[in-house]
Amino acid sequence: MGVSAYIYWMFVRQKINRSGSVSVQIVQKVGRINRVVRTIGCSTDLVETEKLVSQAQYEKERIYGPTLFDPLPVEDLKNVTNDCIRVIGPDLVFSKLYSRIGFDAIGEPLLKSLAISRLTHPGSKLKLSEYLSVTGRDSISVYSIYRFLDKISDR
């Protein structure tokens, strides 16, 4: 059974009605669907419409909390790819486990990176070096990894 996750955000929309008045709404976008959460009001006066928009912004943050970001402009979305996404869940979980086991006492940050990377993406040391540089954690050469492992094994 697959789990589907939707990215959603809320925004304030100004919708022009048939009568010519403008409705100000708080809208939640889930996937491809826009759902009107609350209509703040409607007006034909531009000044009144601006007041309704500021009231809608206030209501949105008051009820649903401050949003981290507003929807990106379309120009910015063209540059977003899967390479821009970094999954940090395994890092958070395995970092806590690493600390609880007591390995933080060793005081080698590279050992922690190596241990977590080997758990989440097992492979050769060359692949490990590539993985660390791609995920943006560290840019470590394969030779540095070998020297580090030699130093650990000598202890």
Q: Where do the structural domains in the chain lie, given as residue ranges? A: 8-77, 86-154
pTM for the structure as a whole: 0.41
Going by their DSSP bridges, the two strands 8-16 and 22-30 should be labelled as antiparallel
Find tokens 């758990």 and name the residue: 119
Greatest mean pLDDT range, 43-57, 85-99, 120-134: 43-57
Report residue 116's pLDDT band, with 50, 70 and 90 as the boundaries.
confident
Report residue 85's pLDDT band, with 50, 70 and 90 as the boundaries.
low
What is the spatial distance between Cα 33 and Cα 16, in angstroms, rounded to a whole number?
19
Residue 51 — left, alpha, or beta (φ > 0 → left; ψ -120 to 50 → alpha)? alpha
Alpha helices by DSSP H, the chain: 46-64, 74-77, 89-101, 109-120, 125-134, 142-154
40 pLDDT above the threshold of 80: yes
pLDDT per position as a tens digit, 17-27 = 999 999 999 98
Report residue 3's pLDDT band, with 50, 70 and 90 as the boundaries.
very low
pLDDT per position as a tens digit, 63-73 = 665 554 555 55
Burial class of residue 118 in the structure, from the number of CB atoms within 10 Å of its CB (0-12 exposed, 13-18 middle, 19+ buried): middle
Selection from 97, 114, 104, 101 nearest residue 151 by Cα: 114
